[in-house]
Amino acid sequence: MTKHALITGGSAGLGFEVAKGLILDGWSVTITARGEDRLRQAAGHLRRLSEEARVEILPLDLSSLADIRRATERLQQSGARFDAIVGNAGAKIESPMKTTEDDFEWHMGVNHLGHFALVSMALPLLSSGARISMVSSVVASRGDARGIYASKNVSLSAGQAYANSKLANQMFALELNRRLAASGSTVSATAAHPGFARASAYGSKVVRFGEYLAAQSAARGAKPILESLIAEPGSYLGPGVFELWGSPTAALVHEAALDERLCADLIHESERLTGLELDL
């Protein structure tokens, strides 16, 4: 039976490359993004990779809990089942600071809370043995777990907010895997990061030029993410050369992701803010 993956942010960059890799490996994919036109264009490119490829699109705005609920209900009504969820979409470092529709700090709201809500609602759609993989970042190493939900009104740089949100992705994945294992579920979770890879363009001209010169391709950056779908449950993968470039290997786990009390606090606060329970 053909496996089916749900990939957030699948219309461009890393998510698109993950979708390509899975299709070439015989998977079907459902890709999400905010813009339906970009989704349709990406789906057209993906369908040309294989005559057997089944590519579905799902408009989804991770900055809106209402839209996440709408999209998940659409999946439920369609009878969709998934063998993997790849939580790839995310806000880049964006300044000045802003908030989501639900009044969350932008980076945390999109990168972590949006995915937390999606996974919480989509758990019943997962097949036996399914894998959930959250995409973190090499800068998660600079995240501050104790300031992870720092108020949007306090002085917090956009770069620190982004690092905190990517640390939250890592903590969520590893804590989710621990809880799934403890519950006896056949579903498991991992995390991965792409290193220094070209994704969707962002930042100043200087940042984009530096990325052009030094970053590995999005296709190379997608490899740890693809590998995370078959890696040992609870793994955290990244590129092997200084965690910036190269083939996938085990990456350095932030001490906060190993601290079960901090991770439990993350889940509790995520449930409180989203109004959703992580029901395993």
247 in any annotated domain: yes
279 in any annotated domain: no
Rg of the Cα trace of the chain?
A: 17
pLDDT of 151 strictly over 90? no
What's the pLDDT tens digit per position in 23-63?
Answer: 999 999 999 999 999 999 999 999 999 888 899 999 999 99
Using pLDDT thresholds of 50, 70 and 90, give the confidence band for residue 209: very low
Q: Which residues contact 246 (CB under 8 A, 6 or more apart)?
A: 195, 216, 239, 240
What's the pLDDT tens digit per position in 253-270?
Answer: 999 999 999 999 999 999
158 in any annotated domain: yes
Q: Residue 30's beta-bridge partner residues?
A: 6, 56
280 in any annotated domain: no
Residue 172, pLDDT score: 98
The residue-averaged pLDDT of 132-161 equals 85
Domain at 175, CATH number: 3.40.50.720
Q: Which of 16-30, 144-158, 178-192, 239-253 has the lowest mean pLDDT?
A: 144-158
What is the average pLDDT score of the chain? 92
**Whole-angstrom Cα distance, residue 143 to residue 202?**
20
What's the pLDDT tens digit per position in 2-14?
Answer: 999 999 999 999 9
Catalytic residue among 149, 162, 202, 236: 162
127 in any annotated domain: yes
Tokens of 113: 């809370």
pLDDT of 140 strictly over 50? yes
pLDDT of 208 strictly over 70? no
Is the model more confident about 152 or about 3? 3
What strands, in cross-sheet order, belong to the sheet with 4-8? Answer: 55-59, 28-33, 4-8, 82-87, 126-135, 188-192, 236-241, 245-250
Question: Is 236 considered catalytic here?
Answer: no
89 in any annotated domain: yes
pLDDT of 86 strictly over 50? yes
160 in any annotated domain: yes
38 in any annotated domain: yes
pLDDT of 272 strictly over 90? yes
Range of the domain at 190: 4-274
**How many structural domains is the chain composed of?**
1
**Whole-angstrom Cα distance, residue 141 to residue 105?**
20
What's the pLDDT tens digit per position in 231-246?
Answer: 999 999 999 878 788 9
3-state secondary structure of 5: strand
Using pLDDT thresholds of 50, 70 and 90, give the confidence band for residue 210: low
